Amino acid sequence: MMHGEMAGIYEVRVQDTGRNHRLFCILVRDAADLGGSSIICLGGLSKPPRQAADPKSYRLIRKYRAEFERHGLVVN
């Protein structure tokens, strides 16, 4: 699980061909409208190894989490 402003968001990491790929998701427990517990994928990014991700990417992921929490869906 991530920390700070990204707390509550999980990150899946994969390294391939000189790039680091990240998938960001949240876990929703016992969501009746989703048919039970679910993993909600919010988005992802790719970046060179040992470089920080663009802060805009993190802002977008936080925006998608807020949209899901408000409306139960993410529209981009």
Domain regions of the chain by residue span = 4-71
Evaluate whether 73 touches 66 at the Cβ level (below 8 Å): no
The whole model's pTM is what?
A: 0.85
Torsion (CA) 62, 19, 38, 58 in degrees, nearest 10: 0
Evaluate whether 70 touches 50 at the Cβ level (below 8 Å): no
Structure confidence by residue, pLDDT tens digits, 16-48: 889 999 999 999 998 877 888 989 999 999 999
In this model, does residue 74 exceed pLDDT 90?
Answer: no
Tokens 């990417």 sit on residue: 57
- Cα angle 61-42-38, degrees, rounded to a multiple of 5: 140
Evaluate whether 7 touches 26 at the Cβ level (below 8 Å): no
